[in-house]
Amino acid sequence: MIRFEDTEEIGKFQRPHALKGELNAVIDVDPVFLSDGNPAIVEIDGILVPFYATGVRQKGSSACLVKLDGVDSEKDARSFVNAPIRAMRSQLARYETEEEEEGKGSYAEDLVGFTITDSDAGEVGRIVDLDLSTENALFVVENTDGETIYIPIADDLIEEIDEEKHNIEMTLPEGLVTINTKQK
């Protein structure tokens, strides 16, 4: 049995996201904590119950989308709305230490408004939104012709993020920039 004094609150579930049981959550620790097999502990009828994440997607500096094992519909997910998320203190210790050492990085949500530049094609356009509707998150980019381009948010494509200049230097696969644009 999990005891309250052995746990610590790390966040809160918000509203369901889509129809397959995914939940919006705001958490105070790195979302990797949940995706590494550490349970999100939720109080149900006065008892602390562990739930394991089968998927976690970052949605900003403190928000994420969490898919819990056994929560497979919007109806199931609704029972978690506004529920505090707890974690075992013993499991938190190593993550808090790692977070302090690494500092804070950039998150996709913080990059809306930045300009994307490709190492070969030059300026691609400005990030106007994010598409988080699929497993692979995308930058929604508007080019200088007003056309929309979707670019995968992938660390291996990003060469440098210049926060002062609001620019992201990327190395994009050939044809990605023109795949969704009208050919002249």
Mean pLDDT lowest for which of 56-60, 66-70, 121-125?
A: 56-60
Alpha helices in the chain (DSSP H): 32-35, 74-78, 89-102
Q: What end-to-end distance do the CA atoms of the chain give, in Å? A: 66
Residue 175 confidence (pLDDT) above 60? yes
Q: Kindly report the average pLDDT of the chain as a whole number.
A: 85
pLDDT in tens, 127-154: 999 887 777 788 999 998 889 999 988 8
Task: Give how far the C-alpha of residue 17 lies from the chain's centroid of Cα atoms, to the nearest Å.
Answer: 13
Q: What is the pLDDT of residue 91?
A: 83
87-120 pLDDT, tens digit each: 998 888 755 544 444 444 456 778 899 999 998 8
- The domain defined by 4-100 folds into Elongation Factor Tu (Ef-tu); domain 3 (2.40.30)
Amino acid code (one letter) for 172: L
Q: Where are the domains positioned within the chain?
A: 4-100, 108-170
Lowest mean pLDDT among 20-29, 41-50, 59-68, 110-119: 59-68
Please work out, in degrees rounded to the nearest 5, the angle formed at the alpha carbon of residue 28 by the alpha carbons of 129 and 112: 15
Superfamily grouping for domain 108-170: PRC-barrel domain (2.30.30.240)
37, burial (CB in 10 Å: exposed 0-12, middle 13-18, buried 19+)? exposed
Give dist(CA 139, CA 126) in Å, integer.
Answer: 9
Topology match between the domains 4-100 and 108-170: no
pLDDT reported for residue 113: 93
pLDDT band with cut points at 50, 70 and 90 for residue 181: low
- The pLDDT assigned to 101 comes to 46
pLDDT of 7 above 90: yes
pTM, entire model: 0.53
* Whole-number percent of the chain with pLDDT over 70: 89
Per-residue confidence (pLDDT) for residue 95, from 0 to 100: 57
Tell me what the mean pLDDT of segment 146-171 comes to: 89
